[in-house]
Amino acid sequence: MWWAEPGTAVTSAVATSIAIDGFGIPTNLIDAGPWGITVGVVAFIFYGVFRGWIIPKPHYDTLMARTLAAEAALAKVTETNGVLADANLKNTAVGDTVIRVMTAIQDARQDSGDKV
């Protein structure tokens, strides 16, 4: 059985350890000692980085640079779209004005009797 047998050296001090093939694994932080706590903290840090809870500074700087560049590009595209929309509106207004002026000139010629 892979659990420690009651009364053995592994379980006699504290009943919170597991023995696998004669090797005792403490399951209590006090029994683990400083090395066990260090291993636990390092494992938690690696797990936090893997899960995205902890972001290393160089990676964070890269993400922020990409975000700022994307925002600047979006602002430039928005400004360009605004300029193009204004130009389109002006061209449409000029086109409508030309059509109205030419129609008025043709109507005036027809009313005056000139041949068009």
- Please write the tens of the pLDDT for every residue from 72-107: 998 888 888 888 888 887 778 777 888 888 888 888
Kindly state whether residues 48 and 62 are assigned to the same domain. Answer: no
* Integer Cα distance of 102 and 96 in angstroms: 10
Shared domain for 82 and 71, answered yes or no, is yes
With 0.85 as the threshold, say if the pTM is over it. no
What is the residue range of 79's domain?
Answer: 57-116
Asked if residue 61 and residue 116 are part of one domain, the reply reads yes
In tens, the pLDDT along 2-54 reads 455 555 554 444 445 566 666 666 666 666 678 877 888 899 999 998 998 88
Rounded-to-10 torsion of CA 52, 58, 64, 70: -100
Q: Does 113 lie in the same domain as 73?
A: yes
Phi, psi of 107 (to 5 degrees): -65, -40
Do 30 and 81 belong together in one domain? no
